[in-house]
Amino acid sequence: MIKFRFLKRTSVSQRQRANDNEQTTVKESVLTAPELTAQQHQQYQQQPPLHPKTLIIASRESRLAMWQAEHVRAQLNVLYPQCAIEILGMTTRGDQILDRTLSKVGGKGLFVKELEVAMAEGRADLAVHSLKDVPMDLPEGFEMAAVLEREDPRDAFVSNHYASLDALPAGALVGTSSLRRQALIAARYPQLVIKPLRGNLDTRLGKLDRGEYAAIILAAAGLKRLGLATRIRALLDPEHSLPAPGQGAMAIEIVSGRLDIDLRAVLAPLNHRASAQAVTAERTVSKVFGGSCQ
For residues 146 and 253, membership in a common domain is answered with yes
d(CA 77, CA 91): 25
Pair (113, 252) in one structural domain: yes
| Residues 90/73, Cβ–Cβ less than 8 Å | no
Q: Extract the residue ranges of the chain whose pLDDT is less than 70.
A: 1-50, 93-110, 291-294
- Cβ-contact 163, 151 below 8 angstroms: no
Question: Domain residues for 95?
Answer: 12-151+245-288
Assess whether 132 and 249 both reside in one domain: yes
Is the same domain home to 161 and 89?
no
Residue 6 belongs to a domain:
no
Q: Does some domain include residue 83?
A: yes
Quick one: 163 and 142 in the same domain?
A: no
Nearest residue to 243 (alpha-carbon basis) of 144, 130, 88, 164: 130
| 168 and 28 share one domain | no
Question: What's the pLDDT at 24?
Answer: 35
Please give the pLDDT value at position 17.
Answer: 42
Let me know if residue 4 belongs to a domain. Answer: no
Q: Which pLDDT value is given to residue 39?
A: 56
Backbone angles phi, psi at 194, to 5 degrees: -105, 130
**What pLDDT is recorded for position 163?**
98
Contacts of 47 by beta carbon, 8 Å cutoff, 6+ apart: none
What pTM does this model have?
A: 0.78
In a domain, 240, yes or no: no
Check which CATH number belongs to the domain holding 227 and give it. 3.40.190.10
Same domain, 40 and 177: no
Instruction: Tell me: do 252 and 217 sit in the same domain.
Output: no
Question: Structurally, how many domains does the chain consist of?
Answer: 2
In a domain, 52, yes or no: yes
95 part of the active site: no
Which tens digit of pLDDT belongs to each residue from 107-158?
556 678 899 999 999 999 999 999 998 999 999 999 999 999 999 999 999 9
Residue 140 lies in a domain: yes
- Whether residues 159 and 136 share a domain: the answer is no
Say which amino acid occupies 121. Answer: E
Based on the fold, state whether residues 171 and 219 are members of the same structural domain: yes
Query: Out of 95, 99, 125, 133, which one is annotated catalytic?
Result: 133
Considering the domain boundaries, does residue 229 fall inside one?
yes
pLDDT of residue 108: 57
| Residue 77 in domain | yes
Q: Are residues 172 and 129 in the same domain?
A: no
Same domain, 52 and 130: yes
